[in-house]
Structure 1
Amino acid sequence: MLRAIQTVFSKYATFSGRAARPEFWWWTLFVFLVLIVTRIIDYAVVMPMLGADAIQREDGQPLSMIVLLALLLPSLAVAVRRLHDTGRSGWWLLIGLIPIVGSLVLLWFYIQPGKAGPPSVPG
């Protein structure tokens, strides 16, 4: 797991190349866990320090939003590299903008095994 996370951080904004299934899924789990921890910290520490009730959702989660923005670019990059590994263009990531169906199609692409071929798919 640590090697996959280190690889993604070392390729922070690299959209070329490939990402194997384990690298992609370990990164996804890491982001999920980090966001859970930051949300807990927001509700337990940050929101009370700002004078808001920890239960009020409309106040936002400042720490979670900062972490989410910091992890957005490497998450997009590893997703594009995962699509390259399945033999698809990174532009397929845009299909995720279609509600429900787009996410399901991307999930299907992500779980597919990698294909043999050149280390990078153009486009």
Structure 2
Amino acid sequence: MNIARYFMELPIFRDFFGLFSQVMDYRGSMSRQDFWRAMAGYVLVYVFFALISVGMLDYVIPALPIRNGFVLADFFVYLPTVFLVISFLPVLAAQARRLQNAGFSHWWLLLIIIPYIGWFILLILLVYPTRSAYVAN
């Protein structure tokens, strides 16, 4: 069995990679279960890239010869950062859709600007159940 196909069929990764197909959809809604499954996939993929980065730092890069100050494996050090930049808009769109589904305006995402307190309040808003009488703002 193809291992990549096996992982792509898991709901966690299917929901996470589904975020990239809805990257510019800020007006729809997203159920609580789909959102948290996608965020779990996001965390797992980030941890995977971070482990690759740490592995490159500890074991591979010191063993490679340096030519002209450049090692091809240096790219792997930046994998987690590249992943965060690429996935920023899909995750932001998912948060906006989740807030809409919970009955809040997507403008509540501006709480990200406030360190710690804003993040905690946003986390609480993202956990709210789906509002049955959803009214678009």
TM-score, normalisation: structure 2: 0.72
The equivalent residue for 1:10 is: 21
Q: Give the letter aligned to residue 107 of structure 1.
A: L
2:121 is equivalent to residue 102 of structure 1: no
The structure whose Rg is larger is: 2
1:54 alignment partner in structure 2:
none
2:29 counterpart of 1:29: no
| Consecutive unaligned residues in structure 1, runs of 5 or more | 52-59
Give the alignment of 1:1-123 within 5 angstroms: 1=11, 2-45=13-56, 48=61, 61-118=77-134, 121-122=136-137
Which whole-Å CA distance do the structure 2 matches of 1:105 and 1:91 have between them?
13
How many angstroms does 1:34 deviate by?
A: 0.8
Aligned residue pairs: how many? 114
TM-score by length of 1: 0.79
Which runs of structure 1 show a deviation greater than 4 angstroms over 4 or more consecutive aligned residues? Answer: none
Identity across aligned pairs (percent)?
27
Question: Which 5+ residue runs of structure 2 have no aligned equivalent?
Answer: 1-10, 65-69
